[in-house]
Amino acid sequence: MDYHNSDDWYYYGNDRRIWLCAASIASRTTPDYSLAHILVLVIYKKGKEIMKRMYAPWRSKYTTTEVRTKKENIKGDECVFCEQFAQKNDKKFFILKRLKHNAVMLNKFPYNSGHLLIIPFAHKATLDQLNKAARTELMELIAHSSQIVRKELKADGVNIGLNVGKESGSSIPSHLHFHVLPRWKGDTNFLPTLAGTKQISVDLNDIYKILKKAF
């Protein structure tokens, strides 16, 4: 198989971007040509599945009109973040730092080692619901946290993200929280690509001790 052969593009599809991405991942994952060949086809197929679009304007009445009567927001006293903040047991919940309006803590279910959550104390679902002082402090804490993980964990880069609402992918949509995710060169391999599994090789308690001193 020639990754740059136009005939291969024609046979497997003409989406050059997905094709080259699949070839790049496969070539970095294994030096074995036969296995790389298989990986390219699997990754490419998954990429094509993700990129498919279906034009369905008839669904607009379901997406633009409120059809659900059940509220998605939960009460503050039922929120896992609010419960953890109220217990004042920072070590148990891996809370690294409390400021006036916000706190930073380790994610118990990290995507990568040192995955942080930056969370306001106020039980609010969106940024505009926070007051100006809380938003300002929140942004400063995000910047400070990303600086710390780069320095203390020797991260090559950082992903900073916010999911607003259940449909965006937020697991706790009623309580706003930012993700600060350390990244290292080569931290993506065949496990998350093919098996949907991420290996975390550093214990949370060890990471907590390292970062607690820095905060």
Of 9-13, 104-108, 149-153, the least confident: 9-13
Q: Are 27 and 36 in contact (CB under 8 A)?
A: yes
Give me the pLDDT at residue 186, please.
74
Q: At what angle do helices 16-29 and 33-51 cross, to 10 degrees?
A: 140
Give me the pLDDT at residue 110, please.
86
Give me the pLDDT at residue 158, please.
94
pTM for the model stands at 0.64
Give me the pLDDT at residue 166, please.
87
What average pLDDT does this structure show over 133-139? Answer: 97
pLDDT digits over 157-212, tens only?
999 999 999 888 888 999 999 999 999 887 765 444 444 545 556 788 999 999 99
Give me the pLDDT at residue 138, please.
97
Cα distance between residue 152 and residue 169, in whole Å: 29
Q: Under 8 Å CB-to-CB from 42, ≥6 apart: which residues? A: 194
Q: Structural domains in the chain?
A: 1-67 (no CATH), 76-214 (3.30.428.10)
Give me the pLDDT at residue 82, please.
95
Q: What tokens appear for 67 in the block?
A: 């059809």
Radius of gyration of the chain (CA): 21
Q: Are 175 and 124 in contact (CB under 8 A)?
A: yes
pLDDT digits over 8-50, tens only?
444 444 455 555 555 665 555 556 555 555 555 665 555 555 5
